[in-house]
């Protein structure tokens, strides 16, 4: 009896973990540049003394869906979207260099160029600082040009360049903070092959329809595991009653 109970119990636990991942994806369906977390199940024998007669379910997070989201025009001069493959380099809260597809940029009161979530944008020599200017333009190659205060509109001065990188996907890992890092913990080299679409933002690559269907499917699987555990309980009660009668 304990075998079916163990399998159902471990299955229910892993389904809950998978549901957590799916709920996180669904909650970020409207987050700019978000990349969907993947989840899968597999069977794992319980090894120990004797033969592995027990098997439990294991929910895994094999990686991230790196497919691009839809690029939507906003017309805002500080909004940028990565055109195709590539990443925008930012400074993570712990000071490390990380990578994101979120191009909803802003300039703080201190003149720092940041993402909408407050992460400094990395340039050629570190975080990019923007001095007071009449106008700011971001080129498709990430070049930032400004019209200094008091100068003519035709006077554009190149200030810095947003660091754009394109490391292979198998070298990347997504952190718990939603940012992408190199698995080696190093820093990716700047790539001239990455370009930006200005005045636009990339949406999340999460399909809300697929996520909702997955949520319903996982809920049904969880209910099935609970029913199995209930059946085991009823069978145990019946067996105990028969033993008492004998």
Per-residue pLDDT tens digits for 128-170 = 999 988 889 999 999 999 998 877 777 788 999 999 999 999 9
Tokens 């080696």, residue located = 184
**Band of the pLDDT at 183, cuts 50, 70, 90?**
very high
Judged against a pLDDT cut of 90, whether residue 86 lies above it is answered with yes
Identify the three-state secondary structure at position 182. strand
- Judge residue 103's burial from the number of C-beta atoms within 10 Å of its C-beta, 0-12 exposed, 13-18 middle, 19 or more buried: buried
Residue 243's pLDDT is what? 75
How is the chain split into domains, by residue range? 2-65+206-245, 71-202
The token pair at 26 is 């669904």
Torsion-angle region of residue 118: left (phi > 0), alpha (psi -120 to 50) or beta?
left
Torsion-angle region of residue 169: left (phi > 0), alpha (psi -120 to 50) or beta?
alpha
CA 98 → CA 70, 169, 202, distances in Å?
22, 14, 18
């Amino acid at each position: 009896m304990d075998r079916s109970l163990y399998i159902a119990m471990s299955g229910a636990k892993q389904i809950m973990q998978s549901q957590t991942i799916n709920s996180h994806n669904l909650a970020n369906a409207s987050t700019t540049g978000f990349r969907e977390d993947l989840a899968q199940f597999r069977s794992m024998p319980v090894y120990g003394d004797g033969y592995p007669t027990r098997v439990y379910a294991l929910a895994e997070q094999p990686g991230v869906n790196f497919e691009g989201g839809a690029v939507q025009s906003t017309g805002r001069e500080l909004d940028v979207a990565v055109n195709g493959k590539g990443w925008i380099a930012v400074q993570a809260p712990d000071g490390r260099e990380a990578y994101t597809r979120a191009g909803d940029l802003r300039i703080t009161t201190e003149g720092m160029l940041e993402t909408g979530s407050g992460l400094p944008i990395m340039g050629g020599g570190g975080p990019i600082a923007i001095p007071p200017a009449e106008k700011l333009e971001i080129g498709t190659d990430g070049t930032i040009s400004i019209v200094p205060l008091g100068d003519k509109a035709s006077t554009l001065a190149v200030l810095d360049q947003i660091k754009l990188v394109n490391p292979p996907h198998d070298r990347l890992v997504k952190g718990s903070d939603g940012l992408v890092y190199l698995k080696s913990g190093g820093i990716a080299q700047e790539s001239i092959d990455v370009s930006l679409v200005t005045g636009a933002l990339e949406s999340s690559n999460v399909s809300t329809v697929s996520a909702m269907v997955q949520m319903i499917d996982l809920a049904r699987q969880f209910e099935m595991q609970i029913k199995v555990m209930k059946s085991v309980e009823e069978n145990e009660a019946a067996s105990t009653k028969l033993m008492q009668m004998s």
